[in-house]
Amino acid sequence: MSFKKHLIISTVIRIFLIYYGEVQDSLSDVQYTDVDYRVVTDGADHVLSIGSPFKRHTYRYTPLLAYLVLPNLLLHPSFGKFAFSLFDILIGVLIKWILLNCYRYNKISIETKLLKLETLNNRNKYLIKRKNEILNSNNEALPPKYIRMAELSAYCWLYNPLTMIIATRGNGDCVSCSLVLLSLYYLLKNEQTNLQHFIAGLFLGLSIHFRLYPIGFSLAFYLATQNRTLEKWQDIVRTVVQPNAKQVALVLGTIVALTATTALFYWLYGYQFLYESILYHLVRKDTRHNFSLYFYLQYLSSTFEVTILEKILTFLPQLILILMLTVRYGQHRQTLAFGLFAIAFVMVTYNPVVTSQYFVWFLSLLPLCVKNFRNIGVRKAVFIPVMWFISQGGWLLPAYLLEFKGWNTFEFIWIQSIVFFFSNVLILQMLISNYDIAYNYKID
């Protein structure tokens, strides 16, 4: 089947899940619709009354999300779910576009090097003309197997049951994920103009406005825009203090988008907007239950003030790992996608609060890396997702008993949080050890 037919099928599946969710909500105590969807809809109700969405208790998102789901109140209660599902489909399309662009870049660079050698040996006008055509074109024909690989990678997202369920439950994280991928798409475009880097910055700034986590990608985006390999820490410092024109355009675009949205909503809603949508997430606790390794610590210390030392010790491990992964994979455009995936994986795994919707942060980037996993084999390819889902299932059972049966299962949830944490660490180690930039990437 063609890629368009797969898009239609995956869209139909999401539509079915949305209507199935309405049935489950009407029949079961376990609601299909995400509680956050109801919070955002209530926030939209306040906006419709010319009020602040933050009047709704626990509304801690950008006001743009409330504006996006206004049709929930004007047209249909499930409009937001359809909108989020469209962003979900867009992610699949962007995955294909980004990979095709990467293959074209590699093909163009290889042909350019070959033609440069031929031109040196033979001052043929045709060779010189052909070299110039390649340098100025990003639409060079690709071998079918690479187009197929790009489409198969997109299917890893389009047919992922977890991501489909998260979007159709009414979670808006797919919006920020699509903005991250749009930023990556423009950053990696073959033209490499200052304008495209400015646009990439705009999308990166918007993604940070929607969700704070893409701020962890900023340094990797910045380093990938430099024109030389950074071998020492001094080189990184020099790159930061002496940016090139593309880096300036990227930073400027990011600042413009982030400053404009923040200033606008601060003018409309004041300090409450800053605290609820930004500052709150820096001090957030979830003392009920969540996947995080730190959940039980938060539960036991819920009546105490968190010290600065505890905050530092909580965030220091992920900060060190993010910096290491950024330097290792973030300074080359060929490895940038895997670097972003690894950074997002670390941010989720080590975060003080981890919920299911956070998984889309790295799952949306994983298909971009599938083509480079060497020697994974069938056993590992099956073992990794099975272990990941089983470790989640072991957590979900005591969480269900706590939430719906009122059983005291806090210690069991904590034990399963430890199991889930080390499962994630093992998975990331396996993926890093099997990652090879040259594998399935060389253009014939």
Q: Which two tokens stand for residue 266?
A: 């601060």
Poorest-confidence range of 88-97, 190-199, 306-315, 364-373? 306-315
Those residues whose C-beta lies under 8 Å from the C-beta of residue 90, and which sit 6 or more positions away, are: 178
Buried residues in 59-70 as b, exposed as e (16+ CB within 10 A): bbbbbbbbebbb
Up-side HSE of residue 375: CA atoms within 13 Å toward CB?
8
Output DSSP code: residue 373: B
The pLDDT mean for the chain works out to 85
Sign (positive or negative) of CA dihedral 290, 369, 387, 12: positive
Buried residues in 385-416 as b, exposed as e (16+ CB within 10 A): eebbeebbebbeebbeebeeeeeebbebbbeb
Q: For the packed helices 245-269 and 194-210, what is the interaxial angle rounded to 10 degrees?
A: 30
Q: What is the pLDDT of residue 1?
A: 81
Decide if 291 contacts 81 (C-beta within 8 A): no
Give residue 419's Cα distance to chain centre.
24
Render pLDDT for 282-327 as a digit per residue (tens, 0 to 9): 777 766 667 888 888 777 777 777 677 777 888 889 999 999 999 8
Q: E strands, 373-444, where? A: none
At residue 133 the predicted structure's pLDDT band, cuts being 50, 70 and 90, is: low
Better-predicted residue by pLDDT, 338 or 305: 338
> Does residue 44 register a pLDDT over 60?
yes
Long-range contacts of 125-130 (CB under 8 A, 24+ apart): none
Render pLDDT for 351-372 as a digit per residue (tens, 0 to 9): 888 888 899 999 999 999 988 8
Give residue 126's Cα distance to chain centre.
44
> Does residue 175 register a pLDDT over 80?
yes
Q: What is the pLDDT of residue 356?
A: 84
> Does residue 405 register a pLDDT over 50?
yes
Helices (DSSP H) in 277-376: which residue ranges? 280-283, 295-300, 308-329, 336-349, 360-363
Poorest-confidence range of 35-49, 71-85, 188-202, 236-250? 236-250
Q: How far apart are the first and last CA of the chain?
A: 25
By C-alpha distance, which of 288, 292, 286, 285 is closest to 416? 292
Q: What is the pLDDT of residue 443?
A: 39
Q: What is the pLDDT of residue 70?
A: 94
At residue 132 the predicted structure's pLDDT band, cuts being 50, 70 and 90, is: low
Three-state DSSP at 49 gives: coil
Better-predicted residue by pLDDT, 378 or 218: 218
CA–CA distance, 186 with 200 (Å, rounded to integer): 5
Q: Which two tokens stand for residue 403?
A: 């939430």
Residue 435 pairs with which residues in a beta bridge? Answer: 373
Give residue 61's Cα distance to chain centre.
17
Q: Which residue has the tokens 């080390």?
A: 422
Those residues whose C-beta lies under 8 Å from the C-beta of residue 100, and which sit 6 or more positions away, are: 142, 146, 147, 150
Region 76-91: mean pLDDT is 95
Poorest-confidence range of 93-97, 183-187, 301-305, 410-414? 301-305
Q: Please give the angle made by the CA atoms of 318, 321 and 322, to the nearest 5 degrees.
A: 85
Q: What is the pLDDT of residue 69?
A: 94
At residue 80 the predicted structure's pLDDT band, cuts being 50, 70 and 90, is: very high
Q: Which residue has the tokens 């907007």?
A: 273
Region 91-117: mean pLDDT is 73
Decide if 205 contacts 258 (C-beta within 8 A): yes
Region 61-69: mean pLDDT is 93
